[in-house]
Amino acid sequence: MFRKLKEAFARFIDTASSILTSREKLLEAIEEFKLNLVASDVAYEAAEDIAAQLSRRVEEGRVKRREDLVEALREILLGYFTNLGALDLVSLARSRKPFKIVFLGVNGVGKTTTIAKIAVYMRGNGFKPLMVAADTFRAGAQEQLKIHSERTGIPVFTGRYGWDPAALAYDAVQYGVGRGFDVFLIDTAGRMHVDVDLVNELKKVVRVVKPNVKILVVDALTGNDAVEQARFFNEAVGVDGVVVTKVDAYEEGGVPLSLAYVLGKPILFVGVGQDYKDLKPFNPIEYVDRVLA
């Protein structure tokens, strides 16, 4: 997990530690470090910012020892995760009923699996979740959620292909509230070729359903694409928090950092496997400790 990013930091810390007395060489090493960050999926503007912040500390004479360097990096990285705001689904759902979550994301990122994982998580916290198959566009989307429903025992509200997703989602909430469901997990379409129609469709779902939270699901393995998708969905309908999937198989490492920098919204969970229990709350301190270890 995050091997490449970890190596980029380790290599830089080793190189830089031996040239701390030469400001010029150190600034050169920072430039090279920046490129290695980009190669580990750190978004270019985030890598630039890390390099700039570090260079400033060097110029100010604040980096004298190896420990200063590690501490400076730690401070810079953690800085990207503070002030993102916290989003605790369990406490939010306790005070807002019905609690409606709209899930956004392109096909194949692990969106339906994540919906099922979060449904299981919410059930474990005493809620009565209903999954809503409001992707009426992609062949198989309805069936996919039905399979998750059979496996988890969590009900799903389905419709027909071609139906208006906003109307379906609205009906699902009406139906569910009357039957004691208190958390609604609403799937939406995520055509790979994102277009104006999709944006209008998602806007309508949001307008009609009035979700309490909009969660974007991205696949860590897609690297920079994950960051571009975050930009796209945030501009289209707004994103409150992110789930990053397939982190168990992810070596580059930079996606969580890039999302924090570019999107400025909290990462709620990471997906760490295919099982329903393979969902972990994202902890920025653990992440930073891991890449700086």
Q: Which is nearer to ligand GDP, 51 or 216 (CB)?
A: 216
Distance CA 159, CA 146 (A): 11
Single residue of 9, 245, 263, 268 touching ligand GDP by CB under 6 A: 245
Q: Which is nearer to ligand GDP, 97 or 151 (CB)?
A: 151
Q: Least separation, in Å, of the C-beta of 116 and ligand GDP?
A: 8
Q: Least separation, in Å, of the C-beta of 107 and ligand GDP?
A: 5
Q: Which is nearer to ligand GDP, 58 or 244 (CB)?
A: 244
Does the protein bind ligand GDP through residue 113 (CB under 6 A)? yes
Does the protein bind ligand GDP through residue 272 (CB under 6 A)? yes
Where do we find the tokens 């004298």?
Answer: 64
What's the full length of the chain, in residues?
Answer: 293
Q: Which is nearer to ligand GDP, 126 or 140 (CB)?
A: 140
- Span interacting with ligand GDP, options 46-54, 104-112, 197-205, 285-293, rule CB under 6 A: 104-112
Distance CA 22, CA 197 (A): 56
Helix, strand, coil distribution of the chain in percent, nearest 5:
55, 15, 30
Q: 48, 80 in Cβ contact below 8 A?
A: no
| DSSP state for residue 247 in the 8-state scheme | G
Does the protein bind ligand GDP through residue 271 (CB under 6 A)? yes
Q: Which is nearer to ligand GDP, 182 or 201 (CB)?
A: 201
HEC-encoded secondary structure of 93-145: HHHCCCEEEEEECCCCCCHHHHHHHHHHHHHHCCCCEEEEECCCCCCCHHHHH
Q: Which is nearer to ligand GDP, 85 or 108 (CB)?
A: 108
Does the protein bind ligand GDP through residue 222 (CB under 6 A)? no
Q: 98, 177 in Cβ contact below 8 A?
A: yes
Does the protein bind ligand GDP through residue 110 (CB under 6 A)? yes
129: phi > 0 → left, psi -120 to 50 → alpha, else beta; which?
A: beta
Contact code string over 21-60 relative to ligand GDP, x by CB under 6 A: ----------------------------------------
Q: Which residues are annotated as a binding site for GTP?
A: 105-112, 187-191, 245-248
Q: Least separation, in Å, of the C-beta of 47 and ligand GDP?
A: 26
Does the protein bind ligand GDP through residue 267 (CB under 6 A)? no
Does the protein bind ligand GDP through residue 246 (CB under 6 A)? yes
Distance CA 293, CA 289 (A): 6
Structure tokens at 76: 């810079």
Distance CA 270, CA 244 (A): 5
Does the protein bind ligand GDP through residue 108 (CB under 6 A)? yes
Strand, helix or coil for residue 243: strand
Q: Which is nearer to ligand GDP, 64 or 151 (CB)?
A: 151
Binding site for ligand GDP (CB under 6 A): 107-113, 144, 245-246, 248-249, 271-274, 278
